[in-house]
Amino acid sequence: MNMDNLKIILRENKKYGKSLFAKKAINKGEIIAVFDGQVYEANKCSDLPNEAPLKVRDHAIQFEKHKWRDSNGLARFISHSCEPNCGIKESFKIVAIKDIPNGEELTYDYDMTENSDWKLICKCDSANCRKLIRGYRFLPSEFKKKYRGFISKWLIE
Ligand SMILES: [Zn+2]
């Protein structure tokens, strides 16, 4: 079963390649897409397979200390932003944290789920961009406060 919101579409962005966009206005609280695919176990993120075309390491999200999950649908293509319009509910659901207009790129903050040895040089250009994204344990407390209710369950238990 495909769990993707019908208002999302996969398009190229200038920074990372394929990314998700709204093709109709999306309301705050709507589920965007779900990580509903294969589960991978690894000691750390860098041990995950990353061969093309799947590139699991770049697309799966972490949901336990040693577990990651990919998606069957479009969830795996959501980009990172330090000023995201989406967040995580429970472990696997991407939800809109604000009203999102038609045409806007969909993003969540990867530190809402990741806390291993994975790193990203961020190019989101938001005013409060953290530049180097390297896991929840490095997320400043003002972000943790702002993201309350949208951080993966395993990081706050
Ligand atoms: Zn950023």
Tens of pLDDT, residues 24-54? 999 999 999 999 999 999 999 999 999 999 9
d(CA 63, CA 46): 15
Ligand 1 centroid to residue 1 C-alpha, Å: 33
Q: Check if CATH label 2.170.270.10 holds for domain 8-156.
A: yes
Predicted local distance difference test score (pLDDT) of residue 82: 98
Q: How far is the CA of 133 from the centre of ligand 1 (A)?
A: 8
How many A from CA of 22 to the centre of ligand 1? Answer: 20
Which pLDDT belongs to residue 1? Answer: 64
Structure tokens at 136: 């929840």
The reported pLDDT for the residue numbered 42 is 98
Structure tokens at 133: 């994204």
Q: Which residues of the chain have pLDDT under 70?
A: 1, 16
Say how far apart CA 20 and CA 12 lie, in whole Å: 8
Residues with CB under 5 A from ligand 1 (ion): 82, 122, 124, 129
